[in-house]
Amino acid sequence: MKPHATTAAIEARRRQTTQKLKQVEKAIGQLRRERGRLTVRAVAQRAGVSVTFLYENTDARKLVNNAVDDGRTRQIRVAQAEHEQIEASWRERALNAEAELGRTQKEVFAQRQQIGELMGKLRDFDQMVPGESVQALASENITLKRRVQQLMREHRSLQERLEGARSNLRFSDKRIADLEAQLLERDQP
């Protein structure tokens, strides 16, 4: 072979390599815009180059490795954001249920105190007042007891809702962890 032909062949090879690298960059950009899965095979197929070229050419290998790493990082960020959004939703529900439970407990305590005070007054009136007043106080006492029972039912209901919200939060945390593990397993070569 003549030296001129060798130089021309080397130059042609360089131009061809440069063209392939541009195709690889373009393919990576397209896959990113389309939110396609960035893998060596997908990039090679989209760029119209061989997988061997992507592995053997150091510049091409760097481009693909950087793109794949960026894709994984982006997927992890998206999964993390979804996880945080779901967790915040369940956390808010649990906090609301706990706040309502606390309010109900205070109401029950206040009602019990009022019943105790009225019971004391009823005993005092029973000793000093004729039967009519005792009847009125007894009916008011019955009304208050019913109200306490109603508040106790509401308290139990809210307690059950709080337990349900906590259970749902634990389930969603476990499910998200499983999905993240599946995502990481799928992305590993």
* pLDDT tens-digit readout, 114-136: 998 888 887 776 666 566 677 77
pLDDT tens per residue, range 66-103: 888 887 787 788 888 888 888 888 888 888 888 888 99
What digits encode the pLDDT tens for the residues 135-151? 777 888 999 999 999 99
Encoding tokens for residue 99?
Answer: 């706040």
Both tokens of residue 35?
């939110």
Tokens describing residue 10: 């080397």
Instruction: Return the pLDDT at 146.
Output: 94
Q: Does 108 score more than 60 pLDDT?
A: yes
- Please give the C-alpha separations between residue 69 and each of 14, 25, 60, 64, 106, in angstroms, as whole numbers: 27, 15, 14, 8, 54
For 79, other C-beta atoms within 10 Å of its C-beta total 15
pLDDT in tens, 2-55: 677 788 888 888 888 888 888 888 888 888 888 767 778 888 888 888 888 878
Task: Report DSSP letters for 2-23, one per residue.
Answer: -HHHHHHHHHHHHHHHHHHHHH
Q: According to the model, what pLDDT value does residue 189 have?
A: 62
Alpha carbon 101 to its chain centroid, in Å, reads 25
